[in-house]
């Protein structure tokens, strides 16, 4: 693989996906092309960008990793010589009971560079307020995954994973430089915790964080928070979306990452492993 650039442009795509897969893919493609026009060579899509609908249609809407959605995005990555993080799709379960929530990294040749299945599944029950059991709808991943790409080593995660620092420390120890967090973070917890958690993951692991979120009414009975962000290894938010469908970009400086780690070598000082 050619030597990576020290500086490049990364982009987050913020969108509101629904149960029309073709429309979702058209919107995602248009946003990726907007990011490319802004100079991005790394683009991150949000969680379940290609389909979000009722549980009764999960299996019918799931695909194998090599299915038409990823093949379509692979062609897009190849056309624009792009590293593309396909937020997450519903991966067909095969012999498993439920589809996986799966993130796929595509390289500039359209090759699949990594596949990550979401490890932490969101289950919460507040009587009279909310009942969510992601574990009843999704298979659980079991592997920590990094991806070597032309723009650096990516550490992969999805949404609720953000609340579990152990995963991100494992990614950092595996050499991750850029933590990708495609999400569908909802409004109440997003307003309270989204920025705090993203900045914390950046600071404690001295990594860049690129977090693309869904926004608006989801059709699943809740409101997604939006506010996609790119955070530098010092914890500074360098790009932030507000509401609506949009693309945000920021220059990623891997030299800054090296400087932060050199001048404050916290990762070398850690004693709990």
Domain contains 273: no
Strand partners, 124: 132
> Can you give the CATH number for the domain in which 121 is found?
3.60.110.10
Task: Determine the average pLDDT of the residues in 45-54.
Answer: 95
Domain contains 203: yes
Does the annotation count 21 as an active-site position? Answer: no
Reply yes or no on whether the pLDDT at 1 is more than 60. Answer: no
Q: pLDDT (tens digit, 9 = 90+) per residue, 60-70? A: 999 999 999 99
The catalytically annotated residue of 12, 21, 47, 207 is 47
Q: pLDDT (tens digit, 9 = 90+) per residue, 126-143? A: 666 656 778 889 999 999
In this prediction, residue 222 has a pLDDT band, given cuts at 50, 70 and 90, of confident
190-207 residues labelled b (16+ CB within 10 A) or e (exposed): beeebbebbbbbbbbbbb
In this prediction, residue 127 carries a pLDDT of: 65
- Rounded to the nearest integer, the mean pLDDT of the chain is 94
Picking from 242, 253, 188, the residue whose alpha carbon sits closest to that of residue 215 is 242
Instruction: Quickly count: other Cβ atoms within 10 Å of residue 221's Cβ.
Output: 8
The catalytically annotated residue of 12, 21, 91, 159 is 159
Asked whether the CA dihedral 120, 125, 129, 130 is positive or negative, the reply is positive
Domain contains 272: no
Q: pLDDT (tens digit, 9 = 90+) per residue, 186-197? A: 988 999 999 999
Domain contains 244: yes
**Nearest-angstrom CA–CA distance, 212 and 85:** 10
Domain contains 197: yes
Write out the residue range of the structural domain in which residue 157 sits: 7-267
Q: Where are the beta strands (DSSP E) in 176-228?
A: 178-180, 208-211, 215-217, 223-225
**Nearest-angstrom CA–CA distance, 61 and 92:** 8
Read off the tokens for 273. Answer: 């492993």
Domain contains 166: yes
In this prediction, residue 126 carries a pLDDT of: 65
Does the annotation count 159 as an active-site position? Answer: yes
Domain contains 1: no
Q: What does pTM read for this prediction?
A: 0.96
How many domains, in total, are found in the chain? 1
The catalytically annotated residue of 118, 177, 180, 207 is 118
**Nearest-angstrom CA–CA distance, 36 and 175:** 27
| H helix intervals, the chain | 21-37, 58-61, 68-80, 165-173, 187-189, 195-205, 254-263, 266-269
Share of the chain above pLDDT 70, in %: 96
Reply yes or no on whether the pLDDT at 243 is more than 90. Answer: no
Domain contains 247: yes
Does the annotation count 6 as an active-site position? Answer: no
């Amino acid at each position: 693989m050619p030597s990576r650039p020290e500086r490049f442009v990364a982009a987050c795509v913020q969108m509101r996906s629904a149960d029309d897969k073709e429309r979702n893919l058209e919107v995602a493609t248009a946003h990726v092309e907007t990011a490319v026009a802004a100079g991005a060579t790394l683009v991150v899509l949000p969680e379940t960008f290609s389909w979000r609908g009722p549980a009764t249609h999960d299996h019918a809407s799931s695909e194998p990793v090599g299915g038409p959605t990823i093949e379509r995005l692979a062609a897009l990555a190849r056309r624009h010589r792009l590293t593309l993080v396909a937020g997450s799709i519903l991966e067909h379960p095969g012999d498993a009971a439920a589809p996986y929530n799966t993130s796929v990294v595509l390289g500039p040749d359209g090759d699949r560079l990594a596949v990550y299945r979401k490890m932490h599944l969101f289950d919460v029950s507040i009587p009279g307020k909310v009942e969510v059991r992601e574990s009843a709808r999704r298979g659980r991943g079991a592997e920590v995954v990094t991806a070597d790409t032309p723009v650096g080593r990516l550490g992969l995660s999805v949404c609720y994973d953000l609340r579990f620092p152990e995963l991100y420390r494992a990614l950092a120890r595996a050499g991750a430089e850029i933590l990708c967090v495609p999400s569908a973070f909802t409004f109440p917890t997003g307003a309270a915790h989204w920025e705090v958690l993203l900045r914390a993951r950046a600071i404690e692991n001295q990594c860049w964080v690129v977090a693309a979120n869904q926004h608006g009414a989801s059709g699943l009975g809740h409101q997604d928070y939006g506010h996609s962000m790119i955070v530098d290894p010092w914890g500074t938010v360098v790009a932030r979306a507000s509401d609506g469908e949009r693309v945000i970009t920021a220059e990623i400086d891997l030299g800054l990452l090296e400087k932060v780690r050199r001048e404050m070598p916290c990762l070398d000082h850690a004693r709990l492993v």
